[in-house]
Amino acid sequence: KNEVEQSPQNLTAQEGEFITINCSYSVGISALHWLQQHPGGGIVSLFMLSSGKKKHGRLIATINIQEKHSSLHITASHPRDSAVYICAVTEGETSGSRLTFGEGTQLTVNP
Amino acid sequence: DAGITQSPRHKVTETGTPVTLRCHQTENHRYMYWYRQDPGHGLRLIHYSYGVKDTDKGEVSDGYSVSRSKTEDFLLTLESATSSQTSVYFCAIGGRRTEAFFGQGTRLTVV
């Protein structure tokens, strides 16, 4: 079992829909990251969370430390949101700041 | 954007040849990481560095070596490239108390 599990693996939505991607982890963490990767592209950080909730434009990320669960929400989805979304965690204090990754969620938003 | 660049961006090499990938950062981060990204496996840690001349192995380190002679540069070397090392390689910094920043990636093909 992977230390970081994402669901769903693939998600297809119509433009305008509200989207949720989930991430569960099994280790103690100091931070959780949501990353975005467009096809053939680099990896961009969307959020870093250690508690609570953050919002950037149409993107919202939440984390529940007790339940070891995080969600990424996209409101009013748009075709340009089509990408792979990756959840990653920074484990406890002894592991530096290296990341452990989920396998990613492929999101396709159709016009 | 964080200053982290990788070179080369693309490389095709023959089996058995040595290959060196370079990661350069201008953020003065102590920790630097090399990951590889493969379909079905997501991103996996190859090696990391926690300071000049201080490096350690990740989960997929066999066949790879690294060096860090300056804070800003972290080199990944494939001593004798094999087809199983065909992959996309990402360098990264940050992740504990800061967002994680990734280089643009290097697409390596071993023929």
- How many angstroms separate the CA atoms of A35 and A44, rounded? 6
Considering only CB atoms, which chain B residues are within 8 Å of A98? 31, 33, 45, 48, 58, 95
Q: What is the pLDDT of residue A75?
A: 97
Distances (CA, A) of A67 to A27, A70, B61: 11, 9, 32
- How many angstroms separate the CA atoms of A5 and A22, rounded? 8
Q: Which of A32, A34, A98, A101 to mutate to test the interface with B (most CBs of B within 10 A)?
A: A98
Residue A95's SS3 state is helix
Q: What's the token pair of residue B69?
A: 């002679």
Contact B43 A101 (CB under 8 A): yes
Chain B CB within 8 Å of residue A27 CB: no
Q: What is the pLDDT of residue A96?
A: 63
Considering only CB atoms, which chain A residues are within 8 Å of B5? none
Contact A48 B42 (CB under 8 A): no
Chain B CB within 8 Å of residue A96 CB: yes
Nearest CA in chain A to B102: A43
Chain A CB within 8 Å of residue B97 CB: yes
Q: From first to last of the 111 residues of chain B, give the pLDDT tens digit.
A: 569 999 999 999 999 999 999 999 999 998 999 999 998 888 999 999 989 999 999 999 999 999 999 999 999 999 999 999 999 999 999 766 778 899 999 999 999
- The per-residue pLDDT for range A36-77, each reduced to its tens digit, is 999 888 999 999 999 999 999 999 999 999 999 999 999 999
Chain B CB within 8 Å of residue A88 CB: yes
Q: What's the token pair of residue B75?
A: 């080199």
Which segments of chain B does DSSP mark as H helices, in order? none
Chain A CB within 8 Å of residue B88 CB: no
Nearest CA in chain B to A41: B104
Contact B45 A98 (CB under 8 A): yes
Chain A CB within 8 Å of residue B7 CB: no
